[in-house]
A and B are shown apart, each in its own frame.
Chain A
Amino acid sequence: MRLILSFFCWLAVTTAAWADPITVHIAYSKTGNAQATMRLILDGLEQRGWRFDERATANPQLSNETFNSASQPMLMLWGTDLVPNRAHPAYRPVPTAADLLTVTYVVPRYICAVSNISAEDYANRNRVLTVATTVVPADEQYLTTLNQHLGTRHKIIKYTNSRELEAAVAAREIDVVMTSVGLRLEQQGQVRCLYNTSQFRVGSTPLVTDQHPHMPTRNFAAITYLLVRGLDTATLTRLRQDTLAVQRDYAPYTIYLERNRNPATPLMPDRQVQLIKELYNNIP
């Protein structure tokens, strides 16, 4: 009897499984790098006994309202680029240390030359280049700020997402591209990266602020993160510990980030809120 009781006690202590699956709202669509990264984290957590029920709403307002009114434990994938309009009802303020579970994906933008253009050419006021970026307003805002800072008149062309930017690079219809997948394209020999817009040093690509130290926007990147609510303190502590362990040790996740040369892994929890706050300042 004692043995059986001991076994159940051991099971209760070691298993992290929540009785019911925790609902995870993804405010984005079903596909994309951010979603893939989050899925890898959830996979890692499931291997540690957690259970999740994923819902990809592709509707930030619905996810936001559901999350805010949830009476059951819930996670939500959100990002700094999702609703960059402070007046919109779905706009979410900067998360706090209490409701942030973890940053799942950090996406610096890389400004890369498609044709034979150097950083000096890019800064040359007499040259007008076509610069491609996504439709995310903050991306265009950043390029406009950079244009103004350099005094250039480059033409900004907008594409739906990084997938379309890759197609534009392949079609060679642009001179320069600002994209989150710049380093991968550089490895494939399709572009040459001139700048990294963030403060995360990745490889040898110079930061914009290295070359232009007075650039007003000093750290520009998009971040996706998981928010949490409705868990009791003990369970939340276990979830945080397990999440950290997954992000540190779960091979599919770490390999994915490494291959995408993504600087999410070194981020410690106390730095995460501060960083998100910093990036929210870039919202126009």
Chain B
Amino acid sequence: MMAEWLLLAAAPLIGIVIGLMPGLGALFVMLMLYPMLLHVTPWVVVVFYSMIIAARDFSGSVAALGFGMMGEVSAGPALRERAIIQRHNSTRQALMDTMWASQVGVVVSTVLMLAAVAAGATTAGLFRSDVQTVFMLGTVMFLLAWADQAWWKNAMLVAAGYLIGMVGYNMRTSTDFLTFGNTYLVGGIPVLPVILGLYAVPTMLRIANSTAPTTAAEITQQWTMPTSWPSMLRGSAIGAVCGLIPYVGCVITSNLAHWAEQWKNSNSSLDHSLKRLSAAEAANNAAHVTSLIPFIIMGLAIQPSELVLLEVLHTQGVRPQDLAGLVFMIAAGVAVSAAFAGWMCSSVVSSLLTWFKKYYWTIVVTLSVLLLANVAWLGWTSDQTVYYLAVFAISLAVGLLLPRQLDVLPLVLVLLLQNQLDIVLPRFYQFYLS
């Protein structure tokens, strides 16, 4: 049992590390620890999982704000606000705001989760094909209206994302699509190298060229109150609802909350920027907690990492629904982990910022090398190192050649959702139109 407590104690640190490392998601951590987790008490495994998820979300934003690094699409809003924050030398306030927003998001969604379980609510209706079709089409419409870009530009990006996702062997038809006889293309175009090359790295390079690191003048050890409670609550509400939407919610939530907050706080002042950031951060954390509700109530896995968790439980002959008091354990685990990650990243914020300033380029270069190493490592684990690096290089070239003002996020999000779009829309047709 001592070893299990140590595992739980290490969970927030593991979460912080995977949040800082692009591509090293919860799925890989769960797979790497799989043989060990088979021998761990089921409730400890579930709490461990919820703790790494809670800590990961916060540290991803720290990397985005501190170094302009983007590990996950959910850190996009932090990157977009970074220029304004840096211009006003307010990284410390932004980090404080993201810490507060994470806590508020976790609290709001945990309350919702407890209420849902206590009320015996079921979210099964959200898995209906017609409901999912509405969500999918709603997401596509949202992306067509993305940013200030012309709708036709967004439509082309959406189509490009869908097309890239289609490449490879299609299990449904047992045929290849746009593989040109290439063996590697049969497995499809790997998503992470495309996202990093096409979107994350070009964005990071632009940021590195246009913003200076934090100045020492603003570095103090004082805790500050959040810029806006209402923004955080609005973000939490959006995130808590989005987290319930199967497959789509967690992918779009922080960008959706950021976009929604722009309606109220639209200018480029620091105040508005921090409010948008707070809303996005709160939404991201809230969504990852409420996305656990179908898992707790019905034993349904939505995220790939949840699937591994479910396999570990099934191997031990346990269903999530059978674990007495599981929701309280998850709630406690999430709260402790988010608080720890927030405390870690915020209480040492002065040291962090001094460190950022002193070793800014060293850290940026190191993290960039790690990012590349991650792509190579992901390729290595699937015996396709050269292919992954080639996809990354080609995507990077395209990303750098694209006009600076073109925001390719619609392409990225559709690429992430392509599998679901490809199956949900034909199913809707089968149900209602055939």
> What is the CA–CA distance of A36 and B314 in the complex, to the nearest angstrom?
10
- B246 interface residue per 8 A CB criterion: yes
Per the 8 Å Cβ criterion, residues 347-385 of B in contact with A are 381-384
**B381 and A158 contact, CB distance less than 8 A:** no
> What is the CA–CA distance of A167 and B132 in the complex, to the nearest angstrom?
12
Residue of B nearest to A155 (CB): B430
> What is the CA–CA distance of A66 and B184 in the complex, to the nearest angstrom?
11
Per the 8 Å Cβ criterion, residues 293-342 of B in contact with A are 298-301, 304, 307-308, 311, 314-315, 317, 319
> What is the CA–CA distance of A155 and B129 in the complex, to the nearest angstrom?
15
> What is the CA–CA distance of A167 and B246 in the complex, to the nearest angstrom?
10
**B125 and A171 contact, CB distance less than 8 A:** yes
> What is the CA–CA distance of A163 and B315 in the complex, to the nearest angstrom?
16
**B27 and A59 contact, CB distance less than 8 A:** no
> What is the CA–CA distance of A166 and B321 in the complex, to the nearest angstrom?
14
> What is the CA–CA distance of A39 and B312 in the complex, to the nearest angstrom?
12
- B115 interface residue per 8 A CB criterion: no
- A99 interface residue per 8 A CB criterion: no
Residue of B nearest to A54 (CB): B381
- A62 interface residue per 8 A CB criterion: yes
- A7 interface residue per 8 A CB criterion: no
Contact of B174 among A43, A59, A84 (CB under 8 A): A84
> What is the CA–CA distance of A2 and B144 in the complex, to the nearest angstrom?
80
Instruction: Give chain A residues whose Cβ lies under 8 Å from the Cβ of B317.
Output: 255, 259
**A159 and B427 contact, CB distance less than 8 A:** yes
Q: How many residues of B contact A (CB 8 A)?
A: 48
**A256 and B300 contact, CB distance less than 8 A:** no
- A65 interface residue per 8 A CB criterion: yes
Instruction: Give chain A residues whose Cβ lies under 8 Å from the Cβ of B426.
Output: 158
- B138 interface residue per 8 A CB criterion: no
- B171 interface residue per 8 A CB criterion: yes
> What is the CA–CA distance of A238 and B208 in the complex, to the nearest angstrom?
57
Instruction: Give chain B residues whose Cβ lies under 8 Å from the Cβ of A60.
Output: 169, 186
- B127 interface residue per 8 A CB criterion: yes
**A170 and B27 contact, CB distance less than 8 A:** no
Residue of A nearest to B428 (CB): A157
Residue of B nearest to A138 (CB): B174
**A173 and B423 contact, CB distance less than 8 A:** no
Q: Which of A25-33, A145-153, A201-209 contacts B (4 or more CB under 8 A)?
A: A25-33
Instruction: Give chain A residues whose Cβ lies under 8 Å from the Cβ of B246.
Output: 167
Binding site for B on A (CB under 8 A): 25, 30-33, 36, 39-40, 43, 54-62, 65-66, 83-85, 88, 90, 130, 135-137, 155-160, 163-164, 166-168, 170-173, 188, 252, 255-256, 259-260
Binding site for A on B (CB under 8 A): 27, 31, 34-35, 38, 122, 124-129, 169, 171-176, 183-184, 186-188, 246, 298-301, 304, 307-308, 311, 314-315, 317, 319, 381-384, 419, 423, 426-427, 430-431, 434
Q: Could you jot down 30 A-B contacts, CB within 8 Å?
A: A25-B383, A30-B304, A31-B31, A31-B304, A32-B307, A36-B311, A40-B315, A43-B35, A57-B383, A59-B184, A59-B186, A62-B183, A62-B184, A62-B186, A62-B384, A65-B183, A88-B174, A88-B175, A88-B176, A136-B171, A137-B174, A158-B426, A158-B427, A160-B423, A167-B127, A171-B126, A171-B128, A173-B129, A252-B38, A256-B315
